[in-house]
Amino acid sequence: MAQWDLTSEETPALWPLIAGDGMAPTGVPIGFDTLSGGTFYCDPLGWVTDESVAVTNPNIFIFGKPGRGKSALVKAIILRMIRFGYRSLILGDVKAEYEVVARALGVEPFRIGPGLQGRINPLDLGPLGLDWERQDHAEIARRTAVLTGRWLTLIRGLVGSQHVPFGPTEERVISQVLRHVSGWDVARSTITPITIPMVWHALDVPTDDLITSCRYASRQTFLDATRGLRDALGALCAGSLRGMFDAESTFQIDWRAPIRTLSLRDLHAEGNEIAVGIALMCLNSWGQGMREVVEPGDRRIVLRDEAWMQTRLSVEAVKALDASLRLSRSDGDIQIVTYHKPSDPLSAGDAGSQAAQIAKDLLHLADVRILLGQDQEVAAELRSLLGLTAVQQNLVTDWAMGWPGRALWMVGDRRFKVQLLLTEIERELTFTNAAITDPVDAAGRSSKDDG
């Protein structure tokens, strides 16, 4: 408790002696609460369990113009939460900037990319595939429902991102294919691990069984009707993405490690942003699968940095992220998503469209939203999408542009004006090219928007 000595003459000036209604000092210290002058603490799970805080899930969305310190903030949270038992999973380190943090913690980062050895199977069974033969019918039915839900969301996202329609017919075909290829049946005690090429092959050389169960009159009608699906899935097995997501995973997560990072640097370096977006979607789905069964007390920070690269692909890609954020809500994981502008997820569709509505809903999947600096042009959407008042908008477009790490923290219905303080070591670990290549931008005085 802070103490001040005041004379009776001075006291009235500070009456009623309240220095802002700060949050309880639990969780990790972040920096200054500049309104109260005290230390601001971040405790997402604690906020969920605290009745007085209107936070129902521990997810965090971070917005900010490039160079404003989104990644630095995430890294500080990751490092500081370690002592509370949180370990981190970085789903798609596009610029390989989390590798530095991983190595500092004694963990070798995992890389996937063109020509590299490592593979991630986005259709991985994950921990749900363990001890399958020992489960009863009810549990097998439950597990298959979870698996097929995840697989369908991913395939819909992949197909939608190639601008191939994915309606009820396609969904039925893919559901049948998944069933045929994995061989699941409540009466059977095994399930076969599946991969994208296996799904593709089943569509390319369909069995009579599959054609009948999909209700096609002939092989030719089946092949004609599923051409778009085949081409869309084929894209994952060719071009830039070849050799990344088309085989069994070679990467096993060591859940005891303080951090696990999957780097996409080599793919990103090729400059094909659509491929990066698709890769992020695959990792997103895979990471979701890895969290479908968790040990009690196994708490994770699951990060999706630069999520705009995924969600601008298509509305189906937005839905895929939406599904992951919703699904692992109950297990205590803190999911962090970073974006440039609040309107980023809306870029997948026309204003007023179904896509825009889904994207708006996505913004409400986190009760904690941190707004680092933005350009003046973004002020209007801060109001319309996040409901900021004029004073709060100004804080984001003016004060927060003055220094990296300055942000408006929206915790449930409360607002805090916070400056993140980095330690010496953190400053080294969070140093990114943003500051080297564009020092003016990093200091927030440039008005150009490279987001």
Ligand X SMILES: Nc1ncnc2c1ncn2[C@@H]1O[C@H](COP(=O)(O)OP(=O)(O)O)[C@@H](O)[C@H]1O
Question: In the beta sheet, which residues pair with residue 417?
Answer: 408
For residue 22, the 8-state DSSP code is P
Q: CA-CA distances (angstroms) from residue 329 to 92, 146, 153, 300, 427?
A: 20, 15, 17, 12, 31
Interacting partner of 249 out of Mg ion, ligand X, none (Cβ under 5 to 8 A depending on kind) = none
What is the rounded distance in angstroms from the CA atom of residue 360 to the CA atom of residue 99? 32
Taking alpha carbons only, the member of 306, 301, 315 closest to residue 341 is: 306
Residues in contact with Mg ion, shown as a per-residue x/- string from 71 to 100 under the rule CB under 5 A: x-----------------------------
Residues in contact with Mg ion, shown as a per-residue x/- string from 42 to 71 under the rule CB under 5 A: ----------------------------xx
Using CB under 6 A as the binding rule, whether residue 434 contacts ligand X is answered as yes
CB of residue 303 vs Mg ion: minimum separation in angstroms? 11
Residue of the chain from 27, 289, 422, 444 that contacts ligand X (CB under 6 A): 422
- Non-local CB neighbours of 424 within 8 Å, separated by 6+ positions: none
CA angle 336, 316, 145 (to 5 degrees): 80
Q: How many residues bind Mg ion (CB under 5 A)?
A: 2
Using CB under 6 A as the binding rule, whether residue 431 contacts ligand X is answered as yes
Q: Could you tell me the two tokens for 157?
A: 């996202």
Residues in contact with ligand X, shown as a per-residue x/- string from 65 to 104 under the rule CB under 6 A: -xxxxxxx--------------------------------
Question: In the beta sheet, which residues pair with residue 379?
Answer: none
- The amino acid at residue 370 is I
Using CB under 6 A as the binding rule, whether residue 126 contacts ligand X is answered as no
What is the rounded distance in angstroms from the CA atom of residue 259 to the CA atom of residue 344? 28
Q: Which stretch binds ligand X (CB under 6 A): 64-72, 99-107, 311-319, 328-336?
A: 64-72
CB of residue 79 vs ligand X: minimum separation in angstroms? 13
Residue of the chain from 157, 277, 404, 444 that contacts ligand X (CB under 6 A): 404
Nearest residue (CB) to ligand X, 48 versus 434: 434
Taking alpha carbons only, the member of 276, 285, 305, 407 closest to residue 88 is: 305
Using CB under 6 A as the binding rule, whether residue 432 contacts ligand X is answered as yes
Using CB under 5 A as the binding rule, whether residue 263 contacts Mg ion is answered as no
Q: CA-CA distances (angstroms) from residue 279 to 71, 174, 384?
A: 20, 20, 31
Q: Enumerate binding residues for ligand X (CB under 6 A).
A: 64, 66-72, 404-405, 420, 422, 427, 430-432, 434-435, 442
Q: Enumerate binding residues for Mg ion (CB under 5 A).
A: 70-71
